Amino acid sequence: MSEFMSSHWKKIVGMVFLIVLTVAMGIACAFTMTKNIEVSLDENTGNGSVQTQTLASQRQSQIGEVLKQKGYPVDNGEYTVSVPLDTKVKDVDNVTIKKNAKGTLNVDGNGHTYDSTADTVGDLLKDQNITLGASDVVVPSADTPLTTEVKEIKIVRREEKEESRMEAIPFEVKQTVNPELEDGKQNIITAGVNGSKKITDKLIYEDGILVSRETVSAQTVLEPVTEVIEVGSKVTTEVKQETREESIAFTSQKVENPELEQGKTNVKTAGVNGTARIIENVTYENGKETARSVVSKETIKEPVTEVVEVGTKAAEPAPTPTPEPTPEATQPEAPTEQPAPAPEPAPAPTPEPAPAPEPEPEQPAEESNGIDLSNATHFTANCTAYVATGNATASGAWPTSGHTIAADLSNYPIGTRIYIPYFDTVFTVEDSGGAVKGNVIDIFFDSYAEAISFGRRNLDAYVLN
């Protein structure tokens, strides 16, 4: 062996050198050889904005260094790389750089921000350990891609409940005709009773707020009872004979008076209405008047014709004034010689039939109480009588005999003063009544006997202006 080594040592050393050299060269090649990797930059906008580039790098280089050298945003916190940055080039073929999605997540009344690389909204919720109920609503939906365009995610907690309540069922009303019951009257045969039903509603709450209510079922618990009413149709007819008095309007006559100045008039005889007594048959059906016919008509007081004098005397011409003498006048005329159209005994105003000796009935009985009827409005009042009802009058005052009357307030308002010569009294309108219409005047009396005794009469009356 030693002989062999001695004779071949040079060859052996040469072979070892070659082996070491080969290994060294292999190791050097391993460090200096390159590899192609595919790098994708995803801006995560959701519209396919992905840029892909192939890079040739030394196999032993770290991915992070390679990406930085090529200007990729790998260390600003806004992008996420699909592999660790210290990974060797030789160990990967593809690298993805994706921009993080940022926004606000609102759930259970709270809002917080997220910074995520999750692919969908649902993936983000899983990463956030948020559990969804069966009826919960996610906006946008869980399968929506999580891109930089999504700025807000809202989770609506949705809850459904059922509630029951009772509700009344109104009863119906049925009418039947009873020919034995007086027309206009009614009797309840069967009283109506409301029924009831059980209503079940479905209520939907979103984040604890009621947003809808829907009836899902209705069950009758108690049937309603129909109300039965009988309506009378029987008509009772009654004929009564009634007596009333009616005014007979007076007529007017004009006569000329040559002693009365032209253009003037004078009432010589005051007109007075007459009175007629009328007997009528009045038909009532169930107490309501339906017809009226005259049986007889008798004049119990003839009307007095009004006589009016019309003046025809021409007015006297005004006296001509005498001219006064001027200083130059040589022969002034004495006033005694020229009796200047003397103010002739001023046409002694033709003694207009002085308002004196005229017969009393010819003037509206104003002298009895010194009442001035010159501007009063005359009318014939259909006078009736009434007594106390226990209530105040329409004016609010309590009625007083000899003072209070009721009238049609559309013709004679509260406070109107009306003089009735029959009573020689001025009455005041303080009340009204359902049957007091037109020229009807209802006079208040203290006692029922007085009212019955007065009855109904047509009397002259004057509205004092």
- The H helix count followed by the E strand count for the chain is 4, 26
User: Closest Cα to residue 229, out of 175, 172, 170, 185?
Assistant: 175
- pTM (2 d.p.): 0.38
The mean predicted confidence, pLDDT, of the chain is 83
CB-based contacts of 239: which residues, under 8 Å, 6+ apart? 281, 282, 283, 284
Q: Which amino acid is at 100?
A: N
Instruction: For residue 70, name the pLDDT band (cuts at 50, 70, 90).
Output: confident
Helix (H) or strand (E) run with residue 277 in it: strand 274-285
The whole-number pLDDT of residue 323 equals 59
* 100 in Cβ contact with 115 (< 8 Å): yes
CA 375 – CA 89 distance, rounded (Å): 129
Domain boundaries, the chain: 1-31, 34-99, 101-156, 161-234, 237-313, 364-463
Fold of the domain built from segment(s) 364-463: Barwin-like endoglucanases (2.40.40)
Q: Write the DSSP string, 95-159.
A: EEEEEPEEEEEEETTEEEEEEE--SBHHHHHHHTTPPPPTT-EEES-TTSB--TT--EEEEE-EE
pLDDT tens digits, 165-189: 999 999 999 999 999 898 889 999 9
Contact 454, 442 (CB under 8 A): no
pLDDT of residue 324: 58
The mean pLDDT value for 64-88 works out to 86
Q: Is the pLDDT of residue 322 over 70?
A: no
Residue 8's pLDDT is: 65
In angstroms, the CA 149 to CA 96 distance is 20
Mean pLDDT of 194-220: 94
* CATH hierarchy code of domain 237-313: 2.20.230.10
With cut-offs at 50, 70 and 90, classify the pLDDT of residue 120: very high
Topology of domain 161-234, CATH: Resuscitation-promoting factor rpfb fold (2.20.230)
When pLDDT is cut at 50, 70 and 90, the band that residue 69 belongs to is confident
Q: Hey, which CATH number is domain 34-99, 3.40.50.11540, 3.40.50.720, 3.10.20.90, 3.40.718.10?
A: 3.10.20.90
Tell me how far apart the alpha carbons of residues 388 and 285 are, in angstroms, rounded to a whole number.
29
How many other C-beta atoms can be found within 10 angstroms of the C-beta atom of residue 159?
A: 14
Q: Is 181 exposed, middle or buried (0-12, 13-18, 19+ CB in 10 A)?
A: middle
Percent of the chain beyond pLDDT 90? 48
Residue 341: asked if its preceding bond is cis (omega within 30°), the reply is no
Spatial contact of 153 and 105, defined as CB atoms under 8 Å apart: yes
pLDDT at 286: 82
**Intrachain domains 34-99 and 161-234 with the same fold:** no
Asked if pLDDT for residue 287 goes beyond 90, the answer is no
**pLDDT value of residue 390:** 87
pLDDT of residue 51: 84
State the first-to-last Cα distance of the chain, in angstroms, to the nearest integer. 173
Asked whether 263 and 295 are in contact (CB, 8 A), the reply is: no
**pLDDT confidence bin for 57, thresholds 50/70/90:** confident
